[in-house]
Structure 1
Amino acid sequence: MTLIRAALILAFSAVLSGCGADGEPVQPSLNAHVGLSSGGAYVSGGIGLHQGPVSLYMGF
C-alpha cells in the first residue's frame, strides 16, 4: 500500500508542477499502450515532465 501512496504523491507533485503553481507551466507528455499477447491483454503507459536538464517520468 505504501508503494501506491508514494506513486500518488509523485503523480500529484508532477501535476502541481505541471500546472504552473511555482512558475511557468510545463506541458506533460503522455504515453499509453494497449496490446494483446499469447498471455492475454495488457495495458502500459507513463507520464513525464521535461524542464531543461531535469526529466521526471512515471510508468505504469
Structure 2
Amino acid sequence: MKRSLAIFSLLTLAACGADGEPVRPTASSTITMSSSGVAVGTTLGLTRGPFSVALGL
C-alpha cells in the first residue's frame, strides 16, 4: 500500500507540469463479481504525445 501511494504521488507530481505544460492523469476502476468472489482493479496513467505510462493495481 505504501509503495502504491508513493507511485501515485510521483505520478501526481509529474502531472502538475513542473517542467512544462500540465499533463492530466487518467484513472479507471473496475469491479468484477463472479462465483469465486469479487475482484477490484484500478489503473492510473499519463499520456503525453506518443508516450503513455500506466500503472495497474
> TM-score per shorter chain, which class?
0.7 to 0.9
User: 2:20 aligns to what?
Assistant: 23
Question: What does the per-residue CA deviation read over 1:4-53, in whole Å, with 9 as the maximum and x for residues that have no partner?
Answer: 63x44433221111111221111111110112111111100201100012
CA RMSD of aligned residues (A): 1.8
The normalised TM-score by structure 1 is: 0.75
The count of corresponding residues between Structure 1 and Structure 2 is 57
Extract unaligned runs of 5+ from structure 1: none
Q: TM-score, normalised by structure 2?
A: 0.78
Structure 2 unpaired stretches of 5+: none
Letter in 1 for 2:42: G
Identity %: 39
Structure 2 matches for 1:1-60, cutoff 5 A? 5=3, 7-60=4-57
